[in-house]
Amino acid sequence: MKPPHSVSQKTAMSLRSLTVSASLLVTLLLSVPLVAGFFGAWHPAFDSFAHFRVHLAVLMGLAALPVLFSAWWGHGLVALLLAAGAVASALGVPALGIGPVHAGFQTRINGAPSYTLMHLNLLYNNDQPEKALALVRDRRPDILLLSEASDMWAQRLKDMLADYPYQLRCGRGTRLGGAAILSRLPFSPDRRTQCSDNGRLAIAGVELGDRAMDVAALHVGWPWPADQADEIARLSPLLSSLGTTAILAGDLNATPWSNAARRVAAAGDLTLIRSPGPTWLFRWLPASLRPLVGLPIDHVYAKGDVVLHSGETLEEVGSDHLPILIEFSLPAVDPPSDDEIAVAALPSLEGSKDIRPGRY
């Protein structure tokens, strides 16, 4: 008969071997979607994995720990390095030039006018609409960009006309509703308001003192196997029509490091601002989990003369998305010099009208 300690030792060794084998298998399985996510430009199916890059990397790093303390430690080290690199590529290490390029924040100039813009996916069937309306009344953003502004919200938005007399709501009559723009500042007469055919994109020009800029609210559908990639392609011509100074904000259903987010930026010649953190979480999960497992899929882009000063997420308002609030400004337009006025008044050699400075 074998001594008890021999049986116990053999059982422990078998359990350790099983743990290492399982760890090797799990890290291998997780590496497939993790690596595939870097090839989102090849096919939208790969981009669907990219949205969960950080989650997959963390799981793979944890799974690799038993391997790291075994005879297969080299494989564990490679898995940990791959996981760390994936996280760095998603969250970015600006000092090393790793990760997406983001628009930076600049200190506000004393005395210069600044403005606030809020983006919020209202949730088409939000059962606590007063929470969202109370937040808007409390924060009083100059410009409000909305997603899922369904018919349920129609009368509530009309009731805000005293505070937001300039309104554009797209996607009327659809189940989820569409994008919407509400503004305290007047819409520009030089820019016709526009809605995409499906109501997911709203564009308007807004007057900010002696300047004007385009603002756009965007809501892109779910990733593959849904038609997110095709929808971005259909919206690209409208995105390319944005003026040279513009802000776009919306629910992209895509993370900032995804190919989908890059395609939106390229279509509108926009630069993404650094995400303030996870904004979306399944409604049936505790909100306290959002910073840990939520996804940053609500974004703000800017271009041209927009100077960004801050960006943050705000408190939960009954939606499965958090609001985002940014502060920005536009530099004042320098008055033309006497020489410029004289040149502008000269007739064109081709017989065209006088040259006039553009508004965008």
More confident residue, 332 or 216: 216
**176/277 Cα distance (integer angstroms):** 25
245-267 pLDDT tens trace: 999 999 999 999 999 999 999 99
Confidence of residue 354 (pLDDT cuts 50, 70, 90): very low
The pLDDT, as a whole number, for residue 10 is 63
Average pLDDT score over the chain: 86
Confidence of residue 343 (pLDDT cuts 50, 70, 90): very low
Residue 216: name the closest of 270, 258, 177, 253 by CA: 270
The pLDDT, as a whole number, for residue 344 is 42
pTM as predicted: 0.85
Q: Using the predicted structure, report yes or no on whether residue 339 has a pLDDT greater than 70.
A: no
The pLDDT, as a whole number, for residue 352 is 30
Measured CA distances, 20 to 6, 57, 72, 202, 269 (Å): 21, 19, 8, 53, 49
Q: Using the predicted structure, report yes or no on whether residue 104 has a pLDDT greater than 60.
A: yes
**262/273 Cα distance (integer angstroms):** 12
Share of the chain above pLDDT 70, in %: 85
The pLDDT, as a whole number, for residue 58 is 95
112-162 pLDDT tens trace: 789 999 999 999 999 999 999 999 999 999 999 999 999 999 999 999 999
35-93 pLDDT tens trace: 999 999 999 999 999 999 999 999 999 999 888 887 777 888 999 999 999 999 888 76
The pLDDT, as a whole number, for residue 350 is 34
Measured CA distances, 190 to 205, 212, 328 (Å): 8, 9, 22
The pLDDT, as a whole number, for residue 287 is 84
Answer for the pair 177, 199: CB distance below 8 angstroms, yes or no.
yes
Measured CA distances, 199 to 235, 304, 339 (Å): 10, 25, 46
CB atoms within 10 A of CB 131: 14
